[in-house]
Amino acid sequence: MTMDSTKLRFFAPCPRGLEAVFEAELHSLGVPTTTKTEGGIGFTAPWSSMYWINLKSHIASRVLWEVGQSPYRSEDDVYRAAYALAWPDWFTPSQTIKIKVSARRCPLPSLDFLTLRIKDAVCDKFVASRHRRPSVNTERPNIKLDAFLDQSTVTFYLDTSGEPLFKRGHRVMSVEAPLRENLAAGILRLAGWSPKEVLLDPMCGGGTIPLEAALMARQIPPGISRNFAFERLLVHDEKRWGHLREAARAKQVAAVPAAIYASDHDPAMVKIAQRTFQGAGVGIDIRLKQSDILDLEAPADGGVMVLNPPYGVRLSQPDELQSFYPRLGDWLKQRFAGWRAYVLTGDARVPKQIGLAPSKRIPLFNGALECRLYEFLIVQGGARRRLTPPTKI
């Protein structure tokens, strides 16, 4: 029996606020039945769908394979549930492991102690059947095991992704306050951007948003340049994985259908973005330049603008806030009629400062920071008048 002849259960976490667009993405990747929870989606699918999602999802943070679930009341119950699982069928004792336990409303007092008990159960299982135990490596483990406890049930997962999926392997160096790649992709999806529309990111920093857009437009799988933890599992099917990668590569298109523009006023950022775009193979797809945002003219009659302004403006420089956002509002009204603009900010005063009425405000989390993505529909002489209260998604 191959892994593909059975349906397996998976859970894929995503940034909070992106559950709906992630669910739509999973449907488009061929997963019909999904269960949405806060911070992720559960689904049942064959093994090769897990390969496909790791490779192709722009929004998943990781894909966890659910290997067991059991009711529990005590630490010993958790030990027994972990011991009952067929760990030696999935990896070898020469591979290192890391166990991560998380819980919601778990009545047991110590997650550290539970972690230890699960580790003991896994190691005891290996000693009983292979006479050797795997060792723990919390820094760079070969195999990551997750356990999640609610009030009465413990669920065990093997992490099929390894490094989180937002690490695409394209970053050439770190920049200040970059967006995570899956959040950038989620913003594009929330904006309803289609690759046929012109896109502009005039505060592009390291270029995360335009890069995600170019990958989407060229249908380059976001995971094509990286490795995955499933490649280290005993049940990994190298042949099937090779075929899927080739099938994904074959779907790539040669050029973006509509222009993608990116700029930043900081020459160092422009240089980093340029190297990143080139490294990802989309250097020719993104029209990048150095410019202050307020010096830019609209590059087309209509399109989608995505703005991720610096947080420093919000936190430490109220004067700059006072003067920058009204000028940004005027710039939008005067030069970008016909465009949809999306601003990601943690500062609720921004729409008022910009002087435009948002048509949507979408709660999102940038790491731990609660933000809003504001949509402004720019029409001649101002934003479209709001007839109904803004949509809250």
Ligand X SMILES: C[S@@+](CC[C@H](N)C(=O)[O-])C[C@H]1O[C@@H](n2cnc3c(N)ncnc32)[C@H](O)[C@@H]1O
Alpha helices in 16-59 (DSSP H): 19-28, 47-56
Which tokens sit at 321? 């806030």
CB of 4 or CB of 330, closer to ligand X:
330
Q: How far is CA 197 from CA 194, 261, 376, in A?
A: 6, 11, 16
Shortest Cβ 287–ligand X spacing (Å): 15
**Which x/- pattern over 279-318 shows residues binding ligand X (rule: CB under 6 A)?**
-------------xx--------------xxx--------
Provide the residue type at 179 as one letter.
L
Min dist. Cβ of residue 263 to ligand X (A): 7
Which pair of tokens denotes residue 165? 């999926």
* Cα gap 64→78, rounded to integer Å: 19
- Nearer residue to ligand X within complex by CB, 64 or 179: 179
d(CA 6, CA 155) in angstroms, rounded, equals: 19
Stretch that binds ligand X, among 54-62, 126-134, 189-197, 201-209 (CB under 6 A): 201-209
Pick the closer one to ligand X by CB: 143 or 179.
179
Does residue 167 interact with ligand X by CB under 6 A? no
- Binding residue (CB under 6 A) for ligand X from 179, 200, 220, 341: 179
* Closest distance to ligand X from the beta carbon of 310 (Å): 4
Q: Is residue 269 involved in binding ligand X (CB under 6 A)?
A: yes
Nearer to ligand X, 121 or 188 (CB): 188
Q: Which of 265, 271, 275, 314 binds ligand X (CB under 6 A)?
A: 265
User: Is 68 one of the binding residues for ligand X (CB under 6 A)?
Assistant: no
Given 17, 206, 210, 221, the residue binding ligand X (CB under 6 A): 206
Does 208 sit near ligand X (CB under 6 A)?
A: yes
Contact call for residue 262 and ligand X (CB under 6 A): no
In the 8-state DSSP scheme, what is residue 336?
-
341 belongs to the binding site for ligand X (CB under 6 A):
no
Going 356 to 265 to 309 to 41, the CA torsion angle's sign is positive
> What's the min distance (Å) between Cβ of 213 and ligand X?
12
Based on the shown chain and the rule CB under 6 A, indicate whether residue 222 belongs to the binding site for ligand X: no
CA 95/CA 299 separation, integer angstroms: 53
Residue nearest ligand X, Cβ-based: 205
Q: CB 307 → ligand X: shortest distance, Å?
A: 9
Residue among 218, 223, 208, 212 at smallest CA distance from 165: 223
Distance in angstroms (rounded) separating the CA atoms of residues 358 and 384: 9
Q: Terminal CA-to-CA distance of the chain, rounded, Å?
A: 44
Helix (H, G, I), strand (E, B) or coil at 13: strand
Instruction: Give the separation between CA 54 and CA 296, rounded to whole angstroms.
Output: 38
Closer residue to ligand X in complex, CB, 175/256: 175
Please report the DSSP string for 218-242 in residue order. Answer: HT--TTTTS--GGGGSTT--HHHHH
Asked if 205 touches ligand X (CB under 6 A), the answer is yes
Residue type at 303 in one-letter notation: G
CB of 343 to ligand X, least distance (A): 12
Within 13 Å of residue 215, how many CA atoms lie on the same side as its CB?
A: 29
Task: Note whether 203 binds ligand X by CB under 6 A.
Answer: yes
Applying CB under 6 A, which of residues 175, 199, 217, 354 lies at the interface with ligand X?
Answer: 175
Residue 106 or 203 having the CB closest to ligand X: 203
Answer yes or no whether residue 177 interacts with ligand X by CB under 6 A: yes
Please work out, in degrees rounded to the nearest 5, the angle formed at the alpha carbon of residue 54 by the alpha carbons of 247 and 27. 80
Q: Is 264 a residue that touches ligand X (CB under 6 A)?
A: yes
* Distance of alpha carbon 278 from alpha carbon 123, whole angstroms: 45
Q: What single DSSP character describes residue 136?
A: B
Binding residues vs ligand X (CB under 6 A): 175, 177-179, 202-206, 208-209, 264-266, 269, 292-293, 308-310
